[in-house]
Homo-oligomer: A and B are copies of this chain.
């Protein structure tokens, strides 16, 4: 795993290919305040990065193969429209999924991060899903599926945070910071969804 993700297909973090977010840094500051996300949380996410770094492949595999694969209404979003597997799409998006874990922990939550949050959201909406990997799959992932599945990410990340022998208090702080970041991120993702998928049958 390359820390800055430069070899990951379709990973365009910090490049000119990523449009500027319609969410401002002031909006982000308000979100952080609403969540209670502080410098201490950023500190514990930085602590989590080296803990998770050599586990990201295993973690994403846990989410994808052990959980999502057994839930048809989630699994379909990385499959072909007839429900058959699309290993290339899955492999490419898994690499970005892995990098996203590290970005959550390591990247400063600045304009580049905000722009890429919007890009991540758009890649799940009908505006951009499938495009990056030239896949033929579901037209979008309903926002509710993403919000719901975050509960699974939050619950399953804990043992991986414990895996490097940190004390209980540090693990609890890392986990709390992770959960806060998740809540900031789905708040950010809601905006493109509201603008694009407001007429969707599935929300």
Which residues of A pack against B, CB within 8 Å?
Answer: 27, 30-31, 33-37, 67, 71, 73-74, 143-145, 147-152, 154-155, 176, 179-180, 183-184, 186-188, 190-191, 193-195, 197-198, 200, 203
Given contacts A190-B143, A191-B203, contact A183 B31 (CB under 8 A): no
Given contacts A144-B187, A144-B191, A198-B198, contact A33 B152 (CB under 8 A): no
Q: Chain copies in the assembly?
A: 2
Question: Could you say which of B67, B71, B198 contacts A194, with CB atoms under 8 Å apart?
Answer: B198
Report B-chain residues with C-beta under 8 Å of the C-beta of A71.
Answer: 33-34
Given contacts A73-B30, A144-B188, contact A151 B203 (CB under 8 A): no
Question: Could you say which of B73, B150, B180, B194 contacts A197, with CB atoms under 8 Å apart?
Answer: B194
Cα A21 to Cα B70 with chains together (Å): 28
Contact B144 A31 (CB under 8 A): yes
Cα A188 to Cα B71 with chains together (Å): 19
Question: Could you say which of B73, B188, B193, B194 contacts A34, with CB atoms under 8 Å apart?
Answer: B73
Contact A187 B148 (CB under 8 A): yes
8 contacts between A and B (CB under 8 A): A27-B144, A34-B145, A35-B152, A143-B190, A144-B188, A147-B187, A151-B179, A151-B183
Cα A74 to Cα B32 with chains together (Å): 12
Report B-chain residues with C-beta under 8 Å of the C-beta of A154.
Answer: 179
